[in-house]
């Protein structure tokens, strides 16, 4: 994702370690921008959709990272130094992919508008063999629901 490295396909997604699809400091950057905006508008709650399950392997999706970021916010902002706490909410962090899919469905999410693939072929929304596609397919199967990207032609 950050170098001339091929996206892995047909990999055992249960392998440990940080995958080649890791993007350095990705969630740190997102939360830093959100923190700056939150402080500017007087908000103290940040929300991010990280998930520590389903073999993510990404360090910035772990509860330890979120706790560390909240500590950073206390010393890196005027509001924090003055005693106002920032809370990072992670409603998906401990859910399985199937639980996330079921919850999204119950909330009316149209999964045909979502996209997870790291390496879609030209004109397609998914490859079916990268880590993200494999985890998504497993999640839909375990939820007992069809994935609209595979049910339809899934073409852009």
The domains located in the chain, with CATH, are 13-95 (3.40.50.620), 96-156 (no CATH)
**72 half-sphere exposure, CB direction, 13 A CA radius:** 12
DSSP-derived secondary structure letter, 47 = E
**116 half-sphere exposure, CB direction, 13 A CA radius:** 22
In angstroms, rounded to a whole number, what is the distance separating the alpha carbons of residues 92 and 95?
5
In angstroms, rounded to a whole number, what is the distance separating the alpha carbons of residues 116 and 127?
10
**The pLDDT of residue 33:** 98
Counts for the chain of helices (H) and strands (E), in that order: 6, 2
Percentage of the residues of the chain whose pLDDT score is greater than 70? 92
Residue 79: its H or E element: helix 78-81
Residue pLDDT, tens place only, 65-109:
999 999 999 999 999 999 999 999 999 999 999 999 999 999 999
Higher-confidence position of 56 and 112: 112
Residue pLDDT, tens place only, 38-63:
999 999 999 999 998 755 678 999 99
In angstroms, rounded to a whole number, what is the distance separating the alpha carbons of residues 96 and 143?
10
In angstroms, rounded to a whole number, what is the distance separating the alpha carbons of residues 119 and 131?
10
């Amino acid at each position: 994702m950050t170098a001339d490295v091929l996206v892995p396909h047909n990999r055992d997604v249960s392998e440990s370690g940080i995958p080649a699809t890791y993007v350095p400091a990705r969630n740190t950057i997102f939360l830093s921008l959100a923190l700056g905006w939150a402080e500017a508008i007087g908000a103290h709650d940040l929300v991010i959709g990280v998930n520590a399950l389903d073999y993510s392997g990404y360090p910035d999706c772990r509860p330890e990272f979120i706790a560390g970021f909240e500590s950073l916010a206390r010393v890196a902002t005027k509001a924090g130094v003055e005693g106002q706490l920032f809370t990072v909410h992670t409603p998906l962090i401990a859910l399985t992919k199937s639980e996330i899919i079921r919850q999204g469905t119950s909330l009316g999410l149209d999964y045909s508008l979502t996209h997870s693939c790291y390496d879609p072929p030209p004109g397609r929304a998914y490859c079916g063999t990268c880590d993200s596609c494999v985890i998504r397919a497993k999640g839909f199967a375990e939820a007992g629901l069809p994935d609209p990207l595979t049910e339809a032609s899934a073409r852009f």
